[in-house]
Amino acid sequence: MKQQQEILAGWSVVWWLFKVFGLPITIPWLVYHFFNIMKEKRKKAALHGKVVMITGASSGLGEALAHVFYDLGCRIILVARRKEELERVKNVLMNTYQTVPTYPPIILPLDLANVNDLKDEVSKAVMVHGRIDILINNAGISHRGEVVNTNIDVDIRVMMTNYFSSIALSKIVLPFMIKQQSGHIVGISSVQGRIALPYRSAYGASKHALQAWYDTARAELADSNVKFTVVNPGYIKTSLSLNALMADGQAYGLMDKTTESGYQADYVAQCILKSILHQQKEITVAPLAPKAAIILRTLFPSLFFWIMQRRARKLDKDK
C-alpha cells in the first residue's frame, strides 16, 4: 500500500513538472512545426509550372534534382553532354510520375566547357517556355593529381566545366530573370569550395572561384529580385571520382571510398530544394568533420595547413 502511494506521488511530480515546464515548451514547438510544414507545402505548390534548368542532369546529383523538380510539376530543361543518358532520364521521369501534370522535359545535349557556343542553344531552350525561373549549375568534373605534374590543359578543362560554364550560363539567363524581376541561380560548389585538399588543386580552385563569383553577383543584384544560392556538399555517392581527370587528362576510373560512403544524391537534392524554398544564400550539406574543418581554416589557419601537409605526405606514401 505504502509502495503504491510512493509510485503515485512520483507520477504526480512528473505530471507537475510536465505541466509547468513541458507544456509551455511542447505546445509552441508543435504549433511552430505545424506552421512550418504548411508553409513549406505552400512554397512547394508554388513551384508548379516553374521553368527549371538543371545542368549535369545525365547522372548523379543532377539526375536526382531532375526527379525532385519534375515531381513538383516543374517544366524542366536537362543539360549534359551524353544525349542518350538525358533521353534515359527523361523517359524514367515520364514513366515514374505519370500522375504529375507537367510538360515533357526538354533535353539539351551540350558540352558546357565550350562556353562561347552556349548562348544560341540555351536561349532557344529558354524561349520554348518564354521564361526561366531557376538555373541549377550542377555539371562538374573532379581532378586527381599533383600540382607539379598536372598538365595545364587539365586545369583549364576543370575550370571551364566547373567555373566558366556556370558563370557563362548565368550570364545568359540573367537578362531574362532581370526582365522578369524574379529568378534563382544555384551553384553546386563543394566543401572543397571552402577548404582545399591535396591532389585536387584544379577542382578546389574551380569551386573556390565559383563561391567568389556568386557572392559578388548576389551583392550586385540584390535589388533585382534574383536570388543566388551556393551549395557546398560533402561526399555524395555518384560517379564523380570515376570521371575525375588525372594529371595527364585520363579518367581516374576508380570509385573512391569517401565517395562510395557519401550521402545519397536524393538526400542532397532534397536539401537543395529546401535551400531554394527558403532562399538561403549558402548551405553546407556535410557531416560534422568537414564543417569543423571549414571553421578551423578560418580561425586557426596554421593548424589547418599543418593537418593538410600531413595529409598530403600520407597520401603520397600510400600511392
Ligand X SMILES: NC(=O)c1ccc[n+]([C@@H]2O[C@H](COP(=O)([O-])OP(=O)(O)OC[C@H]3O[C@@H](n4cnc5c(N)ncnc54)[C@H](OP(=O)(O)O)[C@@H]3O)[C@@H](O)[C@H]2O)c1
Catalytic residues, which ones?
A: 203
Of the residues 141, 167, 217, 230, which one makes contact with ligand X according to CB under 6 A: 141
Q: Does position 65 bind ligand X by CB under 6 A?
A: no
- Binding residues among 114-133 for ligand X as defined by CB under 6 A: none
Between residues 43 and 291, which has the closer beta carbon with respect to ligand X? 291
CA-based nearest residue to 272, from 187, 192, 193: 187
Q: Does position 61 bind ligand X by CB under 6 A?
A: yes
DSSP 56: S
Which among 13-21, 28-36, 110-118, 146-154 is the span making contact with ligand X, rule CB under 6 A? 110-118
- Mask for 248-267, x = binds ligand X (CB under 6 A): -----------x--x-----
SS3 163: helix
Residue 185 CB, nearest approach to ligand X (Å): 14
User: Which triple of cell numbers denotes residue 82?
Assistant: 551524353
Between residues 178 and 308, which has the closer beta carbon with respect to ligand X? 308
Give yes or no for a contact between 136 and 186, defined as CB atoms under 8 angstroms apart.
Answer: yes
- Binding residues among 149-168 for ligand X as defined by CB under 6 A: 161
Residue 27 CB, nearest approach to ligand X (Å): 40
- Mask for 206-245, x = binds ligand X (CB under 6 A): ---------------------------x-xx-xxx--x--
Which residues have C-beta within 8 Å of that of residue 315, sequence separation ≥ 6? 198, 199
Please give the backbone phi and psi of residue 189, each rounded to the nearest 5 degrees, phi first: -95, -130
SS3 188: strand
Which among 23-31, 55-63, 125-133, 173-181 is the span making contact with ligand X, rule CB under 6 A? 55-63
Give yes or no for a contact between 226 and 234, defined as CB atoms under 8 angstroms apart.
Answer: no
Between residues 50 and 200, which has the closer beta carbon with respect to ligand X? 200
Q: How many residues does the structure list for the chain? A: 319
Residue 157 CB, nearest approach to ligand X (Å): 8
Which among 46-54, 60-68, 70-78, 174-182 is the span making contact with ligand X, rule CB under 6 A? 60-68
Between residues 150 and 238, which has the closer beta carbon with respect to ligand X? 238
- Per-position DSSP letters for 236-276, written without gaps between them: BSSSHHHH-EETTS-B-----HHHHTSB-HHHHHHHHHHHH
Please give the backbone phi and psi of residue 148, each rounded to the nearest 5 degrees, phi first: -65, -40
Which among 67-75, 137-145, 176-184, 310-318 is the span making contact with ligand X, rule CB under 6 A? 137-145
SS3 55: strand
Kind plus residue range of the DSSP H or E element containing 227: strand 226-233
Q: Does position 190 bind ligand X by CB under 6 A?
A: yes
Which residues have C-beta within 8 Å of that of residue 61, sequence separation ≥ 6? 138, 188, 233, 236, 238, 265, 268, 269
CA-CA distance, 159 to 55, in Å (whole number)?
16
Residue 66 CB, nearest approach to ligand X (Å): 10
Would you tell me which residues interact with ligand X (CB under 6 A)? Answer: 55-56, 58-62, 80-82, 85, 110-113, 138-141, 161, 188, 190, 233, 235-236, 238-240, 243, 259, 262
